[in-house]
Structure 1
Amino acid sequence: MRRKSKRRRWLEPQSSISPRLYLALTLSSFALLLAVWSLLTYGGIVDKLFLPSPSKIVESGITLFTEFDFIQDILATVYRVLVGFVLAFLAGSALGVLIGTYKALEAFFEPMISFVRYMPVSAFIPLFILWIGVGDVEKISVIFFGSLFSIVLMTAVEVGGVRRELLEASYTLGSSPLGVLRSVILPASLPGMMEIARLVLGWAWTYIIVAELVAASTGIGHVIIESQRMLRTSNIIYGILTIGVLGLITDLILKRAIRGMFPWNYGR
């Protein structure tokens, strides 16, 4: 009976599973995707012009690296994403903490930020090109603009959710308003703010493609749009997969860093 209950424990809501099972399920999801892809392409179900086979994608990747210096495009894209995101996180977190802490600032900033947040970042690219030009600063600005407002609002919600009892206890012990912000609000909010950073970083990887599809001479987005013009579907898919891999790597790094910085918040 004990063995049976242990086997079925993974069916319980939010119940933890062994690292080995977790890894096996993760690998199986990718294996299933590869199997379906192979069936569609090697089986001739889908024309190779629209969906090349996995082996053709690998060949295209080798060609991009050996003949077209694809590594430079990757480095250009990574640089733009990280610089734009880090700047947005620093500015957005600071403003979000202030908005979540002080109601007067919330009344002043939040309606305007909520309004701007619903404007598509791609619609501002012509203006950024007009104002800034077509260099890296324009691409970084797209990432910054696309990430900033979500970070501000989500951080404000996280800060506003700090329990009132903690603030009152700090005041009872003689803390000043600034001391409460420094010693209570920030420590309580930091784990959630870092999870917000992890979430928005994923969005930043999608914004960079939009930025590099227009007026770019380097970057993965540039490779994708040039491949589309030449009907090189395999290069397009390889570029998309490269973005996915880079996003997954940065997500895993940030996830590991968060768990290292706040181990008490991830006891499970």
Structure 2
Amino acid sequence: MRSKLFVIRGEIHRSWYTTGIITTFAGCLLLWSVLSYGSFVEPTFLPTPTLVLQQFLHQMVNPEFWNHVGISIFRVSMGFLLAVILGVPLGILAGTYRFAEALVVPSTEFIRYMPATAFVPLIMVWAGIGEPAKILVIFIGCFFQLVLMVADNTRAVSKDLLEVSYTLGARPGQTIEKVLIKAMLPDLMNTLRLILGWAWSYLVVAELVAASSGLGFSIMKAQRFLNTDVIFVGIFVIGLLGLLTDRLFALCHRRFFPWLEGGK
């Protein structure tokens, strides 16, 4: 069994996989405990796990905290959905037709290297400081990456499948709908899963735009008063929410495409 651990793409027993997960998290917790309980780092900068757990339990019964969670979920969902609604069709178009690729891909490649944070001042001018501005930050952080990745997913579909559909008499529109889109769906779901992770990572940036609610706002507010335990709780909750949405995508991938090897 041990020799199989170092086989390229080799399968290992589920217990070994689980052991690896537990070991990683236990190692991080141990290092954190040693540094904090051992007073190697000032509590102001690194609170103990016990203090963070107490703060977490306190926040769980705090209605204001759940309001922050709800508004953050709303902002991430809206920014992500807007990026999907506009980005997926554009990506499919760019991956299907060369003329569309020439129109879309070069400019998108250029803009995607511009950090979303650099757009914050412009967004405040364009959209004000309300909810649309915060959603727009998340949208910009996701949209341009999504277009390029969907275009790559589209181009990855075997050309032989398209040729077979033409041989069977399918029209171009039918080929796109019945063959191209269906063939790219597994990769598209993985792309959306990755982009949703980026949406969560842009949440704190979005909530810098004159926010008075949300997890990012609560983290920044705690930073001003050096309440690092509250900062840790906010970071962990964002991570947990991101993990839950990621696992939901993974579950859907397994249910919708059970024949795919490694569909996790």
Question: Shorter-chain TM-score: which interval?
Answer: over 0.9
Tell me if 1:261 matches 2:256: yes
1:227-238 matches, within 5 Å, as 227-238=222-233
How far 1:19 moved relative to its partner?
2.7
Equivalent residues of 1:259, 1:266 under 8 A apart: no
Residue identity opposite 2:70 in structure 1: L
- Identify which of 88, 92, 113 aligns with 1:93: 88
Q: Which moved more, 1:16-25 or 1:145-154?
A: 16-25
Deviation track 1:89-146 (CA, whole Å, cap 9, x = no partner) reads 2221111001000111111111111111111111111222222222222111111111
Instruction: Find 1:141's aligned residue among 109, 120, 136.
Output: 136
SS at match of 1:23: helix
The 1-side partners of 2:208 and 2:124 are apart by 13
Per-residue CA shift, 1:163-219, capped at 9, x if unaligned? Answer: 121111111111111111112211111111110111111111111110112310000
Q: The residue matched to 1:184 in structure 2 has which SS?
A: helix
Number of residue pairs matched by the alignment:
263
Q: Distance in 1 between matches of 2:201 and 2:153?
A: 24
Aligned pairs for 1:151-166 within 5 A: 151-166=146-161
Partner of 2:55: 60
Runs (5+) with no aligned partner, structure 1: 1-5
Moved more, 223-232 or 258-267: 258-267
Question: Counterpart of 2:154 in structure 1: which amino acid?
Answer: V
Superposition deviation, residue 21 in structure 1 = 2.6
SS at match of 1:119: coil
Normalising to structure 1: TM-score of the pair?
A: 0.93
Gaps of 5+ in 2: none
Name 1:84's counterpart in structure 2. 79
Q: CA deviation at 1:66?
A: 3.8
Runs (4+) of structure 1 moved beyond 6 Å? none
Q: Which range moves more in the overlay, 54-63 or 219-228? A: 54-63
2:66 counterpart (71, 90, 93): 71
Q: Quick one: which amino acid aligns to residue 55 of structure 2?
A: S
Alignment partners' CA distance in 1, 2:262 and 2:67: 41
Matched-pair identity in %:
41
Question: Could you say what the CA RMSD is over the residues aligned between the two structures, in angstroms?
Answer: 1.5
Q: Do the aligned residues in 1 keep the contact of 2:133 with 2:209 (CA within 8 Å)?
A: no
Matched with 1:240 is: 235
Q: Kindly report which structure 2 residues correspond to 1:210-225, keeping only aligned pairs within 5 A, or say none.
A: 210-225=205-220
CA distance in structure 1 between the partners assigned to 2:59 and 2:254 by the alignment: 36
Instruction: Tell me the secondary structure at the aligned position of residue 265 of structure 1.
Output: coil
Q: Is the 8 A contact 1:121 1:146 kept in 2?
A: yes
Task: For residue 68 of structure 1, report the CA deviation from its aligned partner.
Answer: 6.6
